[in-house]
Structure 1
Amino acid sequence: MDELELLKKDWNLRKDPQVSKDDIYKMLYKKSSSKVKWIFYISVIELLIGIISTIWSFSHSNENFILNDGQHDYSWLPVVFETVACLIIIYYAVKFYKNYKKISVDDDAKTLMKNIIVARRTVKNYITVSLVAGGLFVMTGLFLATSVSPIFLDLYEKNNHLVAYLILIAIILVITIFIIGVIWLLYQLVYGLLLRTLHKNYKELKKLEV
């Protein structure tokens, strides 16, 4: 049982409670502020990983994107993908930081609830944008890599061209859904607990408003 639950239990059991609404409010503020701060810290860690990955891509030619003995050179593609990913993270890292700075102990319960809603919505938007962008990147990379592969070219020559492309697209979609599913699970592990805590704090604040 955490400190907030102990405060609530003490407040509910005492006829002349030593724990006031203000005490519980301050605890909710402290917990909410801490969670939003951690959301910002995690986004900074993601950004650092993205920057390191982009620098590595600039300094190393990615042979997986040099196709058909150099006839199709897409080695620049990972750099573009990672740069866009970094820009997305920078944008949302700034928003996460602003959300953290907005939360003040001097706010009334209604204002704090509003800021919690904004913080949760920002994280959900970030996850959605990241998954959509990741899906597009994965599909583009897979299409460029497989569309000139010997296996696909052989399938293309031996079968109806439309059928060959439909098979290719189906395979790409299955792989993309699997990869995005794994990424979604990781986001749920990383951000899910923080979002659930913010939602719980929001519900507790609503009770204090009654």
Structure 2
Amino acid sequence: MDNFDLDSIKQKWKEQDVPTIYQDTDIQKMLNHKSRNYVKYIFWISALEFLIFLLLNIYYIFQDSSQSSLLHILQRMGVENTVELQADFAHLLFGMKIFSLLMTGIFVILFYVNYCKIKVQQSLKSFITQILKFRKVVNLFILTNIALLLVYISVLCWFIFYIFSKQNIAFDGETLAGFIVGLAIATAIGIGLIWLYYRVVYGIIMHRLGKNLEQLKKIEQQKDI
């Protein structure tokens, strides 16, 4: 026991080559596979949104409840509910719904095209580039939905003022102030709900995709050294 040297044994233990369980290529394949799955999840979520919007639009077209409620608000503001007004308003709402569906459908197609372009077997640099492009499309989709809300509110405001001008109805100061404040509050709530929805639904997936992307970039940098 006199020859027992604990420090020497520790040093020899540290100098031993510890075999790595996973190589960089294995980690890369795993990250690529996970990232592609995240892209697939976003595609299916957007496709589900499109289907839900389509079904809701079909429902409201037959029920016509959204048009009736908005026209009721206009009547309370002094607007005469004529047949011409109902027709113009119905055409406006229908056009907005179709445009909304069209924009959502375009992004569903873009998500699917990007998903098809992302291949697990492709080079790491190409894979990273494709993921970055996909993230830009997702961010553009979120901003487009917020922009659409602002555009629709602007169009509705223009239509309301057009009807007031056509029927020679004057806004008094109190009514105009209440209308502007109510519109501003509704717009802020609408933007907040849209942002919250996409932060929760898309944000979780995009966060995980971002973490995978950072790890893939580190592997790429190590290859370049």
Native 8 Å contact 1:40 1:96 kept in 2: yes
Match of 1:64 among 61, 69, 78: 69
Shift in alpha-carbon separation, 1:79–1:53, aligned structure 2, 3 A: farther
Paired residues in the alignment total 190
User: Aligned residue for 1:5?
Assistant: none
Deviations 1:60-95 (A, max 9, x none): 222023343523321333322221111111101111
Distance 2:180 2:104 in 1: 29
Query: Which residue type is aligned with residue 21 of structure 1?
Result: D
Shift in alpha-carbon separation, 1:190–1:146, aligned structure 2, 3 A: farther
Deviation at 1:57, TM superposition (A): 2.7
Deviations 1:102-134 (A, max 9, x none): 111211111111111011110000000111002
Shift in alpha-carbon separation, 1:118–1:32, aligned structure 2, 3 A: same
TM-score computed with the length of structure 2 as normaliser: 0.75
Name structure 2 gaps, 5 residues minimum.
Answer: 1-16
Deviation at 1:164, TM superposition (A): 5.9
Name structure 1 gaps, 5 residues minimum.
Answer: 1-13
Match of 2:35 among 18, 26, 32: 32
User: What is the CA RMSD across the aligned residues, in angstroms?
Assistant: 2.7
Distance 1:139 1:169 in 2: 12
TM-score computed with the length of structure 1 as normaliser: 0.80
Match of 2:119 among 104, 107, 115: 104
Native 8 Å contact 2:107 2:141 kept in 1: yes
Deviation at 1:139, TM superposition (A): 4.2
Shift in alpha-carbon separation, 1:64–1:77, aligned structure 2, 3 A: farther
User: Aligned residue for 1:3?
Assistant: none
Larger deviation, residues 22-31 vs 68-77? 68-77
User: Aligned residue for 1:179?
Assistant: 190
Deviation at 1:38, TM superposition (A): 0.6
Query: Which residue type is aligned with residue 125 of structure 2?
Result: K
| Larger RCO (CA under 8 A, 6+ residues apart) | 2
